[in-house]
A and B are shown apart, each in its own frame.
Chain A
């Protein structure tokens, strides 16, 4: 493989170009910077999952460059409000909710102690977040978690563009017209008003329209029967107060709304189903290419998989696709056997993200028609398998390419009031009294340590002072 053209000028496109050039410097990488369209979910939502930090790490970007100078904030998770009627809000943070006990999972003991405090009280990240505090994981009990960022998207995109150009990525001029194909079905060049852009491989980062991948034929598998939200709005305004470290995701009669607090801006918006709500919004359709990579065109991010922005997986899927592309870069012939392995992994990942998003709806308990319809949706086999196994004894089966760890699934399941029918019998052999006491101590230790941690604003201030000294 010698040359790659990336179509797309949002964070997805520049991230792809920078990663390809940085990690495979022998490639000639060109970006055709098409401005992200309004429906480009991955390019427009500022909240990210922890994977962005690993992505920065792989590129060798420092905290000063990738976080401080780009005015990013931190986020420890989301606070879900109103997803189970009559239930308190809950926090989905990214990490542990208590240690394993004699080889058995913590949550089984939590289930056995029926009067225990809410599940998220056992997660240090959730407790820090509820107090608006932030520190990276360190010593026990403030350990065992990851965090994401709240990006200033223009600043982050500009940084990735500058970094990519510095690495030797070429930025093409011209406006996208069409993709031209060889008789073999392989893409030959992107036609622009400034001339053709030829390459061995074409990366489609054009957003949900998938301008290159669509030209190759085929369509996304339609996921609307499982994820029926299809409209969103998003707006940012100057922040009125120092940022918290959790965003808020609140169920609404026909969907949900959100509030993401960044360093300088607060982003709010909503997502809903047009079948139940006629408000104007930006349209999208949930679905995914079973083969995001076809011949020498590979779709990344929204171009491959469109899902609603719940849990902020859109940019995560893009970054994960970029990493997979770098890791599995084939020869110029794009041999079908190599492409098939890429597609197998990509599809497995997308399906489990879809399942995790669906989980929020099928376990929600709200009376409105939208929610009743979502809860009654026929489940895909993979999610049905997970829920059946969980309902029996709180067991979560392993899946390859899973984005969200077991504790994330548990946070949502327990947060939305789902309980298994019975306990893991292995737990019954263990004396419950000392464990209940230990659980209370664990909670108290977290609460006490969280109260001593710096606020998110104070942490950022110190970080900026240190980095920009």
Chain B
């Protein structure tokens, strides 16, 4: 049943994806592969994916990473969601939480009752005030989730960490598990003449490394999948026109918020990711609507603390390779595709690719069934996230710049148009059990960006109006009190995982 020898796995590229892949494969498939990672210190890592989704916790757990230790080393903070500012209109602000609205129980989702009360003309507080995760974020609180049956258990969390420190952390782990690392730049990729598989890579020092399976973690360049194997790129820039970012860290001076901020700008948006020692900032913009100089000035003007460097320019293009796994080459992370970090999905996509690769670990003679299934899973992830991101741009009333006029009026994929229409009519969310963003995420963005349903689930009409308003009021108060009683985010961090050089 087994094919005997361990496979020779060659990972091209360090950085977050390369070392996540190396550590995971070494930990989970110890007898199946010998891993050789090639990276070059001359090539920088992109490292904008500092904000994560709750899924990362599962990944870390599987690798046996202790949370407090990891957070200390990567100078991490907690993340309860994302605050979106100025998206629906200038002056708007909402939180997309890692959690539900209301108690998240029962047949009918809370937002239907909320919509009913609003449509009846009652003065009901904004939806986010019924979400424990949102209120913790607004109040700058953090503690770990409680009993899932209680209000204090209706949220999840992720991390905001320094990606430049995460890679070395994983490297230490991976090398401890036997991963071999070689410094060097890939100058040639040898293909097998007959089958078209990758046979070996050649480094600038002349070293030639053979392998059975190649993992392309080379970033935007997509050295193996894109360049050597020529897998075409599906361009999604007509829906997601942002193609550059000006990144600029500053010292943490202002609030270390337990959330990431995404603040809409005239030609895109800027991120604000607070870590323990600094705050990451960057302006994601479309070069068709603003010049690089203007964007750099805009981010310099926007940062709230003392800059630690001048703005650094990154170029990218939204889309994905037609297939992420071709022949004996699996692309992970940016080498397989790019979606702007608006919903912090970069590291999530890396993680999903690694998880799928482990689940579909091939034999040396790779079966089509493994490759096809991997590509099916990864394509679905990309496509669903794509629709969710487009929603943020399209569902806006902003008409104050050419950029916003474009995204507000652009044609969108049918799959998304149907979803929006369904929500607009009756607050319905297209039902999937599998997928990264589930009901509450869609509700948060729709309502936060002024897609207000005209109707609601008729079952939400059952409670008598006075009873409904009374229980909503009680819930509102319980959410506020529960959140207020929690520790401040920074206090929790100082107690639990202060960064190594904190003193």
A contact residues vs B (CB 8 Å cutoff): 1, 23-26, 103, 326-331, 335, 337-338, 340-341, 345, 388-389, 391-392, 395, 397-398, 400, 421-426, 428-429
In the complex, A389 Cα to B368 Cα: how many Å? 10
Q: Assess whether A337 is in contact with B422, with CB atoms less than 8 Å apart.
A: yes
Q: Assess whether A389 is in contact with B422, with CB atoms less than 8 Å apart.
A: no
**Nearest CB of B to A429, in Å:** 6
In the complex, A25 Cα to B460 Cα: how many Å? 11
With A341-B422, A400-B433, A426-B358 already in contact, the answer to whether A25 and B369 are too (CB < 8 A) is: no
Tell me which residues across on chain A come within 8 A of B367, comparing CB atoms: 392
18 A-B interface contacts by CB (under 8 A): A24-B459, A26-B458, A330-B425, A331-B425, A337-B418, A337-B422, A338-B425, A388-B369, A389-B369, A392-B367, A398-B433, A400-B434, A422-B2, A422-B363, A423-B1, A425-B32, A425-B361, A426-B28
Q: Could you say which of A25, A389, A423 contacts B373, with CB atoms under 8 Å apart? A: A389
In the complex, A397 Cα to B434 Cα: how many Å? 11
Q: Assess whether B425 is in contact with A337, with CB atoms less than 8 Å apart.
A: yes
**Nearest CB of A to B186, in Å:** 28
With A389-B369, A400-B432 already in contact, the answer to whether A327 and B107 are too (CB < 8 A) is: yes
**Nearest CB of A to B241, in Å:** 27
**Nearest CB of A to B407, in Å:** 22
Task: Place the interface of chain B in its size category.
Answer: 35 or more
Q: Is the interface of B mostly helix, strand, loop or mixed?
A: loop
Tell me which residues across on chain B come within 8 A of A398, comparing CB atoms: 433-434
> Most chain-A Cβ atoms within 10 A of its Cβ — which of B1, B62, B457?
B1
In the complex, A423 Cα to B425 Cα: how many Å? 48
Interface residues of B in 437-486 (CB under 8 A from A): 455, 457-459, 461-462
Closest to B432 in A: A400
Number of A-B contacts (CB under 8 A): 72
Q: Assess whether B431 is in contact with A429, with CB atoms less than 8 Å apart.
A: no
Q: Assess whether A338 is in contact with B422, with CB atoms less than 8 Å apart.
A: yes
With A331-B426, A337-B425, A428-B31 already in contact, the answer to whether A23 and B459 are too (CB < 8 A) is: yes
Confirm or deny: B436 has a beta carbon within 8 angstroms of a beta carbon on chain A.
no
Closest to A422 in B: B1
Confirm or deny: B359 has a beta carbon within 8 angstroms of a beta carbon on chain A.
yes
Q: Assess whether B426 is in contact with A1, with CB atoms less than 8 Å apart.
A: no
Q: Assess whether B425 is in contact with A335, with CB atoms less than 8 Å apart.
A: yes
Tell me which residues across on chain A come within 8 A of B422, comparing CB atoms: 337-338, 341
Q: Assess whether B426 is in contact with A429, with CB atoms less than 8 Å apart.
A: no
Confirm or deny: B235 has a beta carbon within 8 angstroms of a beta carbon on chain A.
no
B contact residues vs A (CB 8 Å cutoff): 1-2, 28-32, 62, 107, 358-361, 363, 367, 369-370, 373, 418, 421-422, 425-426, 428, 430-434, 455, 457-459, 461-462
Tell me which residues across on chain B come within 8 A of A25, comparing CB atoms: 462
Tell me which residues across on chain B come within 8 A of A341, comparing CB atoms: 418, 422, 428, 430-431
Tell me which residues across on chain B come within 8 A of A389, comparing CB atoms: 369, 373
**Nearest CB of A to B207, in Å:** 29
With A24-B458, A389-B369, A392-B369 already in contact, the answer to whether A429 and B29 are too (CB < 8 A) is: yes
Tell me which residues across on chain B come within 8 A of A395, comparing CB atoms: 359-360
Closest to B368 in A: A388
In the complex, A174 Cα to B1 Cα: how many Å? 67
Q: Could you say which of B361, B369, B426, B458 contacts A338, with CB atoms under 8 Å apart? A: B426
Q: Could you say which of B2, B30, B107, B434 contacts A429, with CB atoms under 8 Å apart? A: B30
Tell me which residues across on chain A come within 8 A of B29, comparing CB atoms: 425-426, 429
Q: Assess whether B370 is in contact with A392, with CB atoms less than 8 Å apart.
A: yes
Tell me which residues across on chain A come within 8 A of B370, comparing CB atoms: 392
Q: Assess whether B461 is in contact with A26, with CB atoms less than 8 Å apart.
A: yes
**Nearest CB of B to A379, in Å:** 14
Instruction: A338-B428, A428-B31 given; name 4 further pairs at CB < 8 Å.
Output: A330-B426, A423-B2, A425-B29, A426-B28
In the complex, A400 Cα to B455 Cα: how many Å? 26
Q: Could you say which of B1, B361, B458 contacts A1, with CB atoms under 8 Å apart? A: B458
**Nearest CB of A to B424, in Å:** 9
**Nearest CB of A to B428, in Å:** 7
